Structure 1
Amino acid sequence: MPFYIIAFLVIVADQATKAAVRVHLEVGESARLWGIELTRFENSGMAGSMLQGYGRLFGIVAVLFVLGVLYYRKYGKAKGALLDCGLGFLVGGAVGNGIDRLLFGRVTDFIVRKGGILNVADHAIEIGALLLIVYTVTIWIKGRKPAKP
């Protein structure tokens, strides 16, 4: 159940914040909100603005990714709350950016931080990846056999 709740909340938060940014900021315009610098940027590529112009293709990749995760959740042997949460953040982020890519051919980014301009979906993907790393390390540690003296 955490998977669906997290994915849903990420999608709603991502789409709501992007809609607000589109209404209140022009492309390239900046503002500050609660100490956070916001600058509207439209990215038709992938992370780091690479491969500009392939937004809809990346939207299709996002759909395939989500289908793969749903298949894995149904038939995969790995289970657990940490895995569910990590996949929920990843799917929520993929769907959030996928909606933009399929509807507009580009993603609205606006949260300025060192290294680039991101959005809520991008941050959710980072959180999901971190949780999957923690999950993998936890499984690895649990699976290690104690050394014999």
Structure 2
Amino acid sequence: MTVWKYYFVAFVLVVLDQWTKWLVVRDMELGERIPLIDPYLGLLSHRNRGAAWGMLEGQMWLFYIITTIVIVGIVYYFHRHAQNQPLFQLGLMVLLGGAIGNFIDRLFRGEVVDFVDVLIPVINYEFPIFNVADAALTVGVVIIFIFILLDERKQKKVKK
């Protein structure tokens, strides 16, 4: 995959994230819940003025600085350390798409639109409401973690 194909992955995630958030803002009242698989999965129009679980609420200046540093770091690592490592490149671009998606919300809305509401029945846990960008950030971290594990295994085999 060429470099631009990886950037296209990030672009698609940002577009999907912003489109779904736009639909929620346009078509749902704040606090409205649409059950999909009741009570385990639904769409819940929610706003978050902080980070995960509402931490650091109202500290937008901090999020602008941190997100800018994270975006620059992802692009740097992509071009300096991820060449010829497709899994690492993919993970970084999925992270980039998620970071940019939520950054756009903070920049233009002053808050992040969340809407995926999940109840984990086995432990009766109400998972924090999230969005496509949040999911992309999580998946990106998992992909990079898998890459690290596979790379360490490969390095051990080379040393033998």
Same-fold call, TM > 0.5?
Answer: yes
Tell me whether 125-134 or 1-10 shows the greater mean CA deviation: 1-10
* Residue 68 of structure 2: aligned partner: 63
Q: Deviations over 1:77-111 (max 9, x none)?
A: 66411011101110000000000011122100000
Matches within 5 A, 1:73-92: 73-76=78-81, 79-92=84-97
Whether contact under 8 Å (1:108, 1:119) holds in the other structure is yes
What code does the residue aligned with 1:118 have?
Answer: F
Tell me whether 121-130 or 61-70 shows the greater mean CA deviation: 61-70
CA–CA separation in structure 2 for the residues paired with 1:94 and 1:57: 14
SS at match of 2:50: coil
What code does the residue aligned with 1:110 have?
Answer: F
* Distance of aligned partners of 1:142 and 1:58 in 2 relative to their CA distance in 1, 3 Å threshold: same
Q: Deviations over 1:34-57 (max 9, x none)?
A: 874011111010001111111343
Unaligned runs of 5+ in 1: none
Whether contact under 8 Å (1:110, 1:119) holds in the other structure is yes
Whether contact under 8 Å (1:93, 1:125) holds in the other structure is yes
Deviation at 1:117, TM superposition (A): 0.2
Aligned residues: 148
* Residue 9 of structure 2: aligned partner: 6
* Distance of aligned partners of 1:110 and 1:84 in 2 relative to their CA distance in 1, 3 Å threshold: same
Whether contact under 8 Å (1:3, 1:85) holds in the other structure is yes
